[in-house]
A and B are shown apart, each in its own frame.
Chain A
Amino acid sequence: AQKITQTQPGMFVQEKEAVTLDCTYDTSDPSYGLFWYKQPSSGEMIFLIYQGSYDQQNATEGRYSLNFQKARKSANLVISASQLGDSAMYFCAMREGKDSSYKLIFGSGTRLLVRP
């Protein structure tokens, strides 16, 4: 079974609007962490935001926020006031607490294109 599922291969958004990128996960471990990374066309991986399974509040970092719905096992990334520079691939990833290596398990990504 897929541990991390990103069902949107590609998304468009108009500049200055908000966009939600979907991510669902599958784990039986009560302790886990969820991460979002951005990969621009230049190829580097940029850490955006983190949500812990025990966190009571949704994580926010500037224009990025995480809509964490634990019962639904979803951790959607919301980007507010989209900018042209937000055009990139976005990856959702999970770490499980039972896994002592804390390796990241990545989804297949969503390509976001911001239209001027």
Chain B
Amino acid sequence: NAGVMQNPRHLVRRRGQEARLRCSPMKGHSHVYWYRQLPEEGLKFMVYLQKENIIDESGMPKERFSAEFPKEGPSILRIQQVVRGDSAAYFCASSLEGINQPQHFGDGTRLSIL
């Protein structure tokens, strides 16, 4: 019974390159969330998606960041023209419907920008 799968676990990019982070939710979960964690800080919400729809992107930077959750395949968080400040751990979580449903997290992708 696989949990939330994120890949890659570690990603190194040079400034100006693109980063693509992938997330497959737990089986049966239709709600996907992306969070960002800077060192020694808590997680900050970025975006919430359901299949083929972005529901809430209030935490996403206005430029360079985008997310999708296609009908088939994993959810993708895409960062274009990366800068040093994008270095962080990016976590994906999935849940069932409902306020009392816990979000289950993947192991995260550690993004390092050279």
Contact = CB atoms under 8 A, between A and B. Distances in A.
A and B: interacting chains: yes
A104 B103 contact: yes
Contacts, number: 69
A102 interface: yes
B43 A106 contact: yes
Question: Of residues A44, A46, A93, A101, which shows the largest number of chain B Cβ atoms within 10 Å of its Cβ?
Answer: A101
A50 B44 CA distance: 19
B107 interface: yes
A79 B44 CA distance: 25
29 contacts: A31-B99, A32-B99, A33-B99, A37-B105, A43-B107, A43-B108, A44-B105, A44-B106, A45-B105, A45-B108, A47-B102, A50-B102, A52-B100, A91-B42, A93-B42, A95-B99, A100-B56, A101-B58, A102-B31, A102-B99, A103-B45, A103-B56, A103-B59, A104-B43, A104-B45, A104-B93, A106-B43, A106-B44, A109-B41
